[in-house]
Amino acid sequence: MPTIYYSYYTPFSDSVPAISKQEHALGRELLARGIQELFQLPLTCGEINAALKYDVNGKPYLPGHPEICFNITHCNQLVSCAFHNSPIGIDAENPGYFPEVLINRALSEKEKCFLQSKSTSISEREEWFYRLWTLKEAYVKKSGIGVDTDLTNFSFSFTNSGDLFSVICSDSTVSCYQTQLSHGQILSVCYEDNGEPIKLVSCSQLHEPLR
Amino acid at 184: G
**According to the model, what pLDDT value does residue 180 have?**
94
Residue 35: count of CB within 10 angstroms of its CB: 22
Helical residues (DSSP H) of 61-167, grouped into ranges: 101-106, 109-117, 122-143
Residues in Cβ contact with 65 at an 8 Å cutoff, skipping those fewer than 6 apart? 35, 39, 41
CATH topology of domain 3-202: Ribosomal Protein L22; Chain A (3.90.470)
Report the C-alpha gap between 102 and 107 in whole angstroms: 8
Supply the pLDDT for residue 163. 61
- The per-residue pLDDT for 193 is 77
Neighbours of 194 (CB within 10 A): 11
Taking 50 as the pLDDT cut, the residues of the chain under it are 208-211
pLDDT at 59 (0 to 100):
86
Q: How far is it, in rounded angstroms, from Cα 42 to Cα 45?
A: 10
> CA 98 → CA 78, 95, 126, 210, distances in Å?
19, 9, 7, 33
Distance in angstroms (rounded) separating the CA atoms of residues 137 and 143: 10
Q: At what angle do helices 109-117 and 122-143 cross, to 10 degrees?
A: 150
For the chain, domain boundaries? 3-202
Measured CA to CA, the distance from residue 111 to residue 40 in angstroms comes to 41
49 by DSSP, 3-state: which?
Answer: helix
